[in-house]
Amino acid sequence: VPELRKDPVDGTWVIVSTERCARPLAIRTKIPIQETEPCPFCPGNETETPKEVFALRPGGSERDEPGWQIRVFPNKYPALRLDGAVEERGDELFVRKDGVGVHEVIVETTVHDLHLADMDSGQLVEILKVYAHRIRALSCDPRIRCVLVFRNHGFLAGATKLHPHSQVVGLPRVPRRIERELEGAKAYHEVHKRCVFCDILHREIEEGTRILLENEGFVVLAPYASRIPYELAIYPRNHAARFEDEGEEGIRFLGEALKKSLGAVRNALGDPSFHYIIHTAPVSSGSRREERSAQDAAFHWHIEILPRMTSLAGFEWGSGMYINIVSPEEATALLRSKG
Amino acid sequence: VPELRKDPVDGTWVIVSTERCARPLAIRTKIPIQETEPCPFCPGNETETPKEVFALRPGGSERDEPGWQIRVFPNKYPALRLDGAVEERGDELFVRKDGVGVHEVIVETTVHDLHLADMDSGQLVEILKVYAHRIRALSCDPRIRCVLVFRNHGFLAGATKLHPHSQVVGLPRVPRRIERELEGAKAYHEVHKRCVFCDILHREIEEGTRILLENEGFVVLAPYASRIPYELAIYPRNHAARFEDEGEEGIRFLGEALKKSLGAVRNALGDPSFHYIIHTAPVSSGSRREERSAQDAAFHWHIEILPRMTSLAGFEWGSGMYINIVSPEEATALLRSKG
């Protein structure tokens, strides 16, 4: 029987309807990314990208030259620019503002076609440290209110390049999904004086049916109200509001959890397209220290992993509600057995 | 310069960043739907589908036999069923309820591969009347709070069948997008004593840069805060809360507007995948007549048309914010010139 489930944090309702899984074509075939030559992310082609803003160069090589291990530069086709005014303009009906913000690309490795699950743990740790570095760097600009790090893998996830890379966006406002999570978390915290994510983790570990894996620092689970098949979330075991504040040890445990999770997704599902996105607490201005402390008590950073086996259809677009054809319990069982 | 625009009704922020349009692969190539034989929606294969609940049979033929012009039956893989209790269960963290609802398929024609833009106007009018009929029929069930009619065309829109068809979903609750539109419209109405959609139409007609076409009954425009390239919306020119209350004349004008709009999308963009979705006011129970009248004064029904040229990427999933690489003004100009 189909079931409606409510996300305990942001209140989104999801229809879990596993009968639909028998439907032809419900699980998609792979569509390759059409590559343009030469790859601008490969070593030797540094002049094909905007000038780098940060790079890991263990041998001490020159900027915008080969010799880097990880390289960061502005997106050539930026969605936002650090230029213009932050004020809103317009009238009651048509409000607009300049697209003030930052949009960067992080090239994660020199190897053109390496799957993240095949990278060595040391490289993965360095990538995660670069994420934290860029979040901290972008947070320094007073115009930036929220920094999102995300990664698209494969054609159906919207990736246009095969070469492993992530993106960082610094936004002039807190986007709706983070805002809703924050609101839900704050409302729960006001009533219970506890973090809702901590309570969820406690319950999930107790129930066990949606836990993919755990290590000393992190828990990976299929969320109770998963929006799409095989959705996963990685949570630090202990309360922490900000990804970018994780220490050396935390990052190491996270790298292990991420590598194993993405490996399970690839092995069980045949290398599907996927996104992952880091949800860290928004930047708070120093002048509102109380607000920051209330936010940080309520919010618990996490990574969403979203394999893209199915397209969003008109129903999802039109309603803002999701139909998920694989229950998170089934998803966990499959990923565990084949991971 | 990139620009942020706010949807005047539901408050969603969109990044309009036309520089990204130069990006390779930003506009997708066509991926064909893999057909399974025989097509269960073709005449003669009626036994391959669940039993029909409604059909237009101008010659008076037998139920579940050939001779129909338009045929409606329950989805073979339903997301919801009229079965179970409407009450919520669970505890504070994990809330769920039975997936009580209706999920139907409307086969729009006997012709296996006819594009909607090529159907004759008379057939299109009959399809729209069947939509209205199903909305009214499903609204009679006290467990149904909202009825959505939508259509997926093409692989990237999530369609799994080529044969022209639409879907109807009757939901036990008002989904989030409709809820947000209603809230925005009601808030505006309380302040201004006017419908926000009527005010938008007035402004749009005055400005003209986002109007694709108009006829006596309807206006088709590219919304100010379009979320995706070439998004369109069809509004009745005069205030009306419910699609299903349109009369004969309204439906005729709507058919004309829909046919021309979809023709423009196909001709200008090379037959892309698309969704369209009817947003009509939710069902209100008779016992809350005041609520219904406040809702119907504020809400203005409309159809969203969403061509799918691009994939939703990690940014959109993670943030709930959209990056649109084609401004609605550019979209209007292109669709007008090639439509």
The ipTM assigned to this model is 0.89
How far off is chain B from A8, nearest CA to CA, in Å?
A: 5
Q: State residue A285's pLDDT score.
A: 58
pLDDT in tens, chain B (339 residues): 789 999 999 998 999 987 765 554 345 556 778 887 799 999 999 999 999 999 999 999 999 999 999 999 999 888 888 888 878 899 989 999 999 999 999 999 999 999 999 999 999 999 999 999 999 999 999 999 999 999 999 988 888 899 999 999 999 989 999 999 999 999 999 999 999 999 999 999 999 999 999 999 999 999 999 999 999 999 999 999 999 999 999 999 999 999 999 999 999 988 899 999 999 999 875 556 777 888 899 999 999 999 988 777 778 888 889 999 899 999 999 999 987
Sequence-separated (6 or more) residues with CB below 8 Å from residue A45: A38, A39
Taking CB atoms and an 8 Å cutoff, what residues of chain A touch B172? 4
Q: Cβ contact (<8 Å) for B318 and A279? A: yes
Phi and psi at residue A313, to the nearest 5°: -105, 180
Q: State residue B286's pLDDT score.
A: 55
Question: What strands lie across the sheet with A95-98, from one edge to the other?
Answer: A89-90, A95-98, B3-6, B13-16, B322-324
How far off is chain B from A60, nearest CA to CA, in Å?
A: 32
Q: State residue A130's pLDDT score.
A: 98
Question: Which candidate from A1, A77, A150 shows the least CB-CB separation from B314?
Answer: A150
How far off is chain B from A158, nearest CA to CA, in Å?
A: 5
Q: Cβ contact (<8 Å) for B81 and A200? A: no
CA distances from B155 to A25, A31, A282, A313, B28 (A): 10, 12, 37, 10, 11
Give tens-digit pLDDT for B315-330.
888 888 999 989 999 9
Count of pairs with CB atoms under 8 A, one residue in A, one in B: 254
Q: Cβ contact (<8 Å) for A94 and B3? A: no
User: What CA–CA distance (Å, rounded) separates A332 from A231?
Assistant: 9
pTM score > 0.90 for this model?
yes
Q: Which helix (H) or strand (E) holds A124?
A: helix A121-139
Q: Is B201 helix (H, G, I), strand (E, B) or coil?
A: helix
Give tens-digit pLDDT for A88-145.
899 989 999 999 999 999 999 999 999 999 999 999 999 999 999 999 999 999 999 9
Are A98 and A85 within 8 A, CB to CB? yes
Q: State residue A197's pLDDT score.
A: 98
Are A106 and A166 within 8 A, CB to CB? yes
How far off is chain B from A184, nearest CA to CA, in Å?
A: 12
Q: Give me the residue label for tokens 């294969």.
A: B45
What the block records as the tokens of A235 is 């949570």
Q: Cβ contact (<8 Å) for A199 and B277? A: no
Which of B7, B41, B96, B230 should one mutate to test binding to chain A, selecting the residue with the greatest count of A CBs within 10 A?
B96
Q: Cβ contact (<8 Å) for A318 and B304? A: yes
H helix runs in B18-105, sequence order: none
Q: State residue B25's pLDDT score.
A: 39
Segment of A91-105, A234-248, A287-301 carrying the highest mean pLDDT: A234-248
Asked if the model's pLDDT at residue A274 lies above 90, the reply is yes
Q: Which residue has the higher pLDDT, A22 or A82?
A: A82
β-strands A3-6, B95-98 pairing? antiparallel
Q: Which residue has the higher pLDDT, A310 or B55?
A: B55
Are B141 and B134 within 8 A, CB to CB? no
Nearest CA in chain B to A169: B315
Question: Which candidate from A19, A93, A95 shows the least CB-CB separation from B77?
Answer: A19
Question: Which candidate from B3, B76, B277 shows the least CB-CB separation from A98?
Answer: B3
Q: Cβ contact (<8 Å) for B160 and A93? A: no
How far off is chain A from B168, nearest CA to CA, in Å?
A: 9
Give tens-digit pLDDT for A4-48.
999 999 998 999 987 765 554 345 556 788 887 799 999 999 999
Q: Cβ contact (<8 Å) for A320 and B175? A: yes
Give tens-digit pLDDT for B293-313.
888 999 999 999 999 887 777
User: What CA–CA distance (Å, rounded) separates A255 from A247?
Assistant: 12
Asked if the model's pLDDT at residue A174 lies above 60, the reply is yes
Q: Cβ contact (<8 Å) for A26 and B160? A: yes
Give tens-digit pLDDT for A178-228.
999 999 999 999 999 999 999 999 999 999 999 999 999 999 999 999 999
How far off is chain B from A298, nearest CA to CA, in Å?
A: 15
Which of A9, A94, A149 should one mutate to test binding to chain B, selecting the residue with the greatest count of B CBs within 10 A?
A94
